[in-house]
Structure 1
Amino acid sequence: MKLVAQIKDRLLQLHGDAILAIGLYGSLAQGIDGPYSDIELRVITKDGISLPGHEFIYPPFKIEIGMKQKHEAMRSAATVDDSWAIKAGAYAHLQAIYDPDRLLDEIRTRPMQISDEAIRDVMREFMIWEPYETMGKIRNNKQAGNYGYLPLGAKDLAWQSAKLIGLANKTFYTTRARTYEESLQMPSRPSGYDELIELVTRGQLHDSELIYERCEHLWTGLNEWYAEMGIEYKLDKLPF
């Protein structure tokens, strides 16, 4: 793409030897972009050199240029958190547009170097932070007769579960837009997930009783799934 080459040349003209590598990521790097896709670039600088990133509109494109020092990029690429399955592709799919020392080859391998134990720890913590709280809100609002919240709660629970499925399968999604589609192809999924996703993706969120029923089914499935994996997130005594 001509504009990407222009941006690369401009960055190198401005910052020269401070830049070690420039990679393209996102849908454009994977060849699945559309006419309204962002242009997303990852710039790796020498350690000790910090350059400002940029996020701007250059009609008709939105352009993001993220700057990271080498040690920061290496650490970030190998970090696992609850959004790992969504964000890891930004490193794993890096397409080199400037990489004289083949630094990006090493960075691309980092996301899959995370340990199974680190994934389990994140899944344990995330279950407490988000899904458990979301299910509590769904139940409270159902009991209070606030049925207008249920579609939002169902969407939140579905998205949180998709993130957990990516983690459990140690697989990242190609793009946020295909998260649900790709999650349904992963071998390890909690029961009840497919049925709730069917409602969410088809926009069939007008039947409050059906929404609630499927959220409860997924919640049961999530807990059974965790038990099968040996992930215990509940305590039987105070931690202090």
Structure 2
Amino acid sequence: MHTNGPLAITRNERLQICRELASRLHEVYGDQLLAVGVYGSVSRGTDSPFSDIEMFGVLHDSGEDVDLSYEWSAGPWKAEVDVRSASVLLASAARVEGRWPLTHGPFFSPLSLYDPHGFFPRLREAAQSPRQEAFKRAIEEVLVGEMYEYAGKLRNAHHIGSHAYLPYLAMEFAHYGAMLIGLHHRRLFTTGALVLSEALELPERPEGFDRVARLAMSGELNDPAAVVNACEAFWDGLVQWAAAHDYTIHSTRIPF
């Protein structure tokens, strides 16, 4: 029996809290408030007894951009309310970065609690607006900024015998590998808990991804040789995958 939060609450209780928070946003921001929406598992109707609450409070644009995030625990439950100017939120929705497959779901399917001016359809349009070039750039940034760097860390850890670091690296290899696959297909993942399993269902996966992903999902990361071999094989597969799809990993010696 759990006595400290998070505690189990029903979906109806969670929705009632959302309505209470929406009412509070109206009190605080008054005529500045443009829209209020819920995102995450609550908006999808997949929330579980211990799920938290995530909401947007959207403000009319004025002379100064607003970009605030309130995140707190009330004891049995936790909530996060992002209060942003409309233009700030629209710009975020239109931006593609390395974790786009996991972070941008809220822009596509918020549960509207207040939207008299039709802001949320505009938000979805902004999220659908990036061109293929933006996804290519994000993929190349992950290939160099994360995967190449993790390959170096893996080899350093193996070289000096720092085996305790290897399970973490395997998890990062799997996570960012999934991000690359999602970006390549411009597909969103449902939730962090399903990133690896959903990535395994997509086609054109780099050679070696399946092995690393299943290793991470199994939790069997206590064999240093197996972890190193799986990650190295995946890195080799990534290099081949990048070449096949014209994603650049290596540039000129000094590109500026």
Structure 2 length as normaliser, TM-score?
0.89
Aligned partner (choices 205, 222, 226) of residue 189 of structure 1 = 205
1:142 aligned partner: 158
1:55 aligned partner: 71
Query: Are 1:81 and 2:97 matched, yes or no?
Result: yes
Instruction: Give the distance between the partners of 2:239 and 2:46, measured in 1 at CA.
Output: 35
What whole-Å deviation, never above 9, does each CA across 1:69-96 have from its counterpart, x for those lacking one? 0111111111011111111012112111
Secondary structure in 2 aligned to 1:91?
A: helix
Secondary structure in 1 aligned to 2:91?
A: helix
Question: How many residues are paired up?
Answer: 240
Secondary structure in 2 aligned to 1:55?
A: strand
Query: Are 1:46 and 2:53 matched, yes or no?
Result: no
Which range is displaced more, 3-12 or 49-58?
49-58
Contact 1:45 1:68 in 2 (8 A): yes
Secondary structure in 2 aligned to 1:130?
A: helix
Structure 1 length as normaliser, TM-score?
0.95
Instruction: Give the distance between the partners of 1:195 and 1:35, measured in 2 at CA.
Output: 32
Instruction: Give the distance between the partners of 1:219 and 1:18, measured in 2 at CA.
Output: 50
1:110 aligned partner: 126
Segments of 4+ moved more than 6 angstroms: none
Secondary structure in 1 aligned to 2:51?
A: coil
Secondary structure in 2 aligned to 1:23?
A: strand
1:71 aligned partner: 87
Instruction: Give the distance between the partners of 2:250 and 2:69, measured in 1 at CA.
Output: 41
Query: Are 1:218 and 2:218 matched, yes or no?
Result: no
RMSD: 1.4
What whole-Å deviation, never above 9, does each CA across 1:41-86 have from its counterpart, x for those lacking one? 0111010263754211123111111011011111111101111111
Instruction: Give the distance between the partners of 1:218 and 1:97, measured in 2 at CA.
Output: 44
Extract unaligned runs of 5+ from structure 2. Answer: 1-14
2:3 aligned partner: none
AA paired with 2:251?
A: L
Contact 1:94 1:108 in 2 (8 A): no
Contact 1:94 1:104 in 2 (8 A): yes
Secondary structure in 1 aligned to 2:155?
A: helix
Aligned partner (choices 179, 190, 208) of residue 224 of structure 2 = 208
**Structure 2 vs 1, CA of residues 51 and 89 (structure 1 numbering), >3 Å: closer, same or farther?**
closer
Deviation at 1:144, TM superposition (A): 1.9
2:5 aligned partner: none
What whole-Å deviation, never above 9, does each CA across 1:201-239 have from its counterpart, x for those lacking one? 111111111111111111011111111111122024432
Aligned partner (choices 7, 11, 14) of residue 28 of structure 2 = 14
Extract unaligned runs of 5+ from structure 1. Answer: none
Secondary structure in 2 aligned to 1:29?
A: helix
Instruction: Give the distance between the partners of 2:116 and 2:252, measured in 1 at CA.
Output: 55
**Structure 2 vs 1, CA of residues 51 and 215 (structure 1 numbering), >3 Å: closer, same or farther?**
closer
Aligned residues: percent identity? 32
What whole-Å deviation, never above 9, does each CA across 1:1-21 have from its counterpart, x for those lacking one? 211111112211232211010
Aligned partner (choices 223, 226, 233) of residue 249 of structure 2 = 233
What whole-Å deviation, never above 9, does each CA across 1:135-164 have from its counterpart, x for those lacking one? 111112112222222112111111111111
Aligned partner (choices 35, 46, 52) of residue 32 of structure 1 = 46
Which range is displaced more, 51-60 or 174-183?
51-60
Deviation at 1:113, TM superposition (A): 1.6
Which range is displaced more, 51-60 or 98-107?
51-60
Which range is displaced more, 21-30 or 123-132?
123-132
